[in-house]
Amino acid sequence: MRLFLYQRELTPILITIGLFAYFTIRAGSTFTDSLSLSSAAGYAGPIGAIAVGEVLLLMLAEIDLSAGQVFLFAPWVEYWLHNLGVPLVLAILIALAVCCGVGAVNGLITVLLNVPSFVTTLAMNFILFGLVLIYSNQTQATPIPLSSSFGGPVSFSSQVMGVWMWSEIVWVAAITIVVTVLLTRTRFGVRIIATGGNLLGAAEAGVPVRRVKVWGFVICSFFSGLVGIVDAVKYGSLDPGNFGVDYILYAVGACVIGGTALTGGRGTVIGAFIGAILIGILEDGLTLIGVSTNDFYVWVGVVIIFAMALNAQFDRLIARSRAT
Amino acid sequence: MSDQSAEPMAPASASAGIALEVRGVTKRFGALVVLRGIDMTLRQGEVLGLVGDNGAGKSTLVKILSGFHSQDGGEVIVGGKRVDFHSVGDARAHGVETVYQDLALIPQLPVYLNLFLGHELTKLGPLRYLDKRGMRKLAREYLDDIRVHVPSVEAEAEQLSGGQRQAVAVARAVRAATKILLLDEPLAAMGARESRLIIDLVKDLAASGRVSIIVIDHNYAHLFELCDRINVMQGGRITIDQPVHETSLETLTELMVSSYRRQLDEVSNPGA
């Protein structure tokens, strides 16, 4: 029981294991083969990448609704730069810098102009979506020819950057570890918890709360853009019609399933990663056992409410154990 | 250790250093004038009590001295040098620490990280990797030393009682203060035993002579026990400045009432 109280990740882990077992029984090896599992990882990758950064913002009692659009925007920036003759590596680095810039603008507008981040990032989402439509002439494009479509041997770096079918989820796992260390082992992590947990108290104690918030937005945009570039190579096409809000809603869902509160001060990056895996397995498994996509949405909703209700009950139990 | 049977400490002589001087400090928030020219002197090693009604401007003054607000006019002088605090960090760099009445602890952080908030021990240089083990050890030793009891230094602040939280908040400031400690209602919402603990903590610190202290409180009994001198704030000014050993609760009350009368007269006959 104590384990449950202090390890919020246990709820989504148990649900994930349960789903995995259920789909294995129902669909057998069609579910457990690497094609099916990599497609589950394919669903989970983008959600996880965005969710990991989003946890930081939810812990700061803020939100970033533009992270999904940043995820889609980054490979376009890389593509445009490369078309202008910028070398590939440099194009990737500049695209990532642009993502950081987007995060910085989100953060600065939020803290300096006192615009709620919900509104700032909603606006940013539309701006980035519009920019992609304008500069792509609304036509699809092929991401930078890192991919093996030309028949030549696939270089290690292009494998890493998205060609290998597990590369995206490995990136997300690595980011999860990095951000977990940042959050639980460094002064910056303490500052995030302090800023989100008691804004006035943190400011009075000398925590630079505005700077911490801006950095939160920058980190979230950076990781979304990074995995966005990997994701584009993986799928081999850039579609200007993709809308980032679709990703954001799943990402926030993954955070909540993972045990992050929307009230600030509390969250787990590992939980968000597991939440993303859970959604990926759910989507892949339901498809395999022949359930329609429409049912998938119902199931995601049920799981989100179930996980949240369970966490709320744990909080009540904790409160009660303190009272006695 | 403070000896409670002893006479209140005599005010430091004029030749002894002056820790903090406030000259003609004013502050307004929009149309609301909160401070109308504050003059105040805090001597080295002294405990100064600040009383006054709600809205008299006590908390605003403390927030200016702690760098949270900046004043509109006047000067603040710390250790003989004029200072301009632009942030809480500025004030801290000058050795000024504050405990606020709105409880500065972070509910989701463990006691030891709350104790070190803003002064974390880190290693690996720019990575700012937390030295959790070091902080836990120091926190345990320090809290034992000043007899503040918490269930565990790893318990989250949320799990503590109101009094324990306040004790940790005061302990943090006492630990960090090098010159001046500002306490804004440190005994609010505390039980008798916990109040006793905080009073002893502050008295010990004052007896060490290392730090000069300003305490805001509504409880005159506490202030008379804790302070060397009491300043009364009324309507954005300091109207009364009395050493504790030369006054009593009765005298102070009389002075306050007559000062109110004077202010009322001024309001009703502005030309007089």
Amino acid B14: pLDDT: 41
Q: How many domains is chain B partitioned into structurally?
A: 1
The single-letter DSSP state of residue A162 is I
**Closest chain A residue to B69 measured between Cα atoms?**
A204
Amino acid B102: pLDDT: 60
**Residues of chain A neighbouring B185 (CB-CB closer than 8 A):** none
Amino acid B101: pLDDT: 64
Question: Which residues constitute the domain of residue B48?
Answer: 18-107+177-263
% of chain B exceeding 90 in pLDDT: 25
What are the pLDDT digits (tens) for B5-52?
444 444 444 435 888 999 999 999 988 989 999 999 999 889 999 988
Short-list B98, B145, B143, B146, CA closest to B118: B98
Name the region of B38 (left: φ>0; alpha: ψ -120 to 50; beta: rest). Answer: beta
Q: What does the alpha-carbon distance between residue B272 and residue B257 come to, in Å, rounded to a whole number? A: 20
Kindly report the CATH number assigned to the domain that includes residue B82: 3.40.50.300
Classify residue A165 as exposed, middle or buried by CB count within 10 Å of its CB (0-12, 13-18, 19+).
middle
Interchain pair A194, B117: CB under 8 A = yes
Q: What is the largest CA-CA distance in chain B?
A: 69
CA A221 → CA A65, A97, A117, A191, B58, distances in Å? 10, 10, 14, 19, 43
- Most B CBs within 10 Å: which of A198, A207, A266, A314, as the mutation test of the B interface? A198
Short-list A222, A228, A232, CA closest to A179: A222
| Whether the Cβ atoms of residue B260 and residue B243 lie closer than 8 Å to each other | no
Q: What does the alpha-carbon distance between residue A63 and residue A216 come to, in Å, rounded to a whole number? A: 10
Does any CB of chain A come closer than 8 Å to the CB of residue B155?
A: no
User: How many beta-carbon contacts under 8 Å exist across A and B?
Assistant: 74
CA angle A193, A100, A269 (to 5 degrees): 35
Q: Is residue B171 part of a domain?
A: no
Give the DSSP per-residue string, B18-87: EEEEEEEEEEEETTEEEEEEEEEEEETT-EEEEEE-TTSSHHHHHHHHTTSS--SEEEEEETTEEE---S
Q: What does the alpha-carbon distance between residue A29 and residue A36 come to, in Å, rounded to a whole number? A: 9
The alpha carbon of residue A318 is apart from the nearest alpha carbon of chain B, in Å, by 9
Task: Share the mean pLDDT of chain B.
Answer: 83
Amino acid A7: pLDDT: 67
CA B238 → CA A9, B50, B57, B231, distances in Å? 56, 9, 10, 7
Interchain pair B106, A186: CB under 8 A = no
Interchain pair B118, A265: CB under 8 A = no
Q: Which fold has domain A2-323?
A: ABC transporter involved in vitamin B12 uptake, BtuC (1.10.3470)
| Whether the Cβ atoms of residue A228 and residue A95 lie closer than 8 Å to each other | no
**Residues of chain B neighbouring A206 (CB-CB closer than 8 A):** 87-89, 92, 117-118
Partners of residue B216 on adjacent β-strands: B50, B184
Does any CB of chain A come closer than 8 Å to the CB of residue B134?
A: no
Does any CB of chain A come closer than 8 Å to the CB of residue B107?
A: yes
Q: Is residue B269 part of a domain?
A: no
Mean pLDDT confidence for A133-160:
69
**Residues of chain A neighbouring B87 (CB-CB closer than 8 A):** 206
Interchain pair B104, A193: CB under 8 A = no
Out of A190, A204, A265, name the one closest to residue B100 (CB).
A204
Interchain pair A187, B118: CB under 8 A = no
Amino acid A149: pLDDT: 44
**Residues of chain B neighbouring A208 (CB-CB closer than 8 A):** 89
Single-letter amino acid, residue A91: A
Give the DSSP per-residue string, B164-204: HHHHHHHHHHHHH-SSEEEEESTTTT--HHHHHHHHHHHHH
Partners of residue B20 on adjacent β-strands: B42, B78
Does any CB of chain A come closer than 8 Å to the CB of residue B124?
A: no
The alpha carbon of residue A252 is apart from the nearest alpha carbon of chain B, in Å, by 21
Residue A109 pLDDT class (50, 70, 90 cuts): very high
Task: Share the mean pLDDT of chain A.
Answer: 87
**pTM exceeds 0.95:** no
Mean pLDDT confidence for B194-210:
82
**Closest chain A residue to B123 measured between Cα atoms?**
A186
Amino acid A6: pLDDT: 53
Q: Does B141 or A153 have the greater pLDDT score?
A: B141
Q: Is residue B237 part of a domain?
A: yes
Does any CB of chain A come closer than 8 Å to the CB of residue B101?
A: no
**Residues of chain B neighbouring A207 (CB-CB closer than 8 A):** 117-118
Interchain pair A205, B127: CB under 8 A = no
Q: Is residue B151 part of a domain?
A: no
Classify residue A225 as exposed, middle or buried by CB count within 10 Å of its CB (0-12, 13-18, 19+).
buried
- Say whether A17 sits in a helix, a strand or coil: helix
The alpha carbon of residue A198 is apart from the nearest alpha carbon of chain B, in Å, by 6
- Most B CBs within 10 Å: which of A190, A215, A260, as the mutation test of the B interface? A190
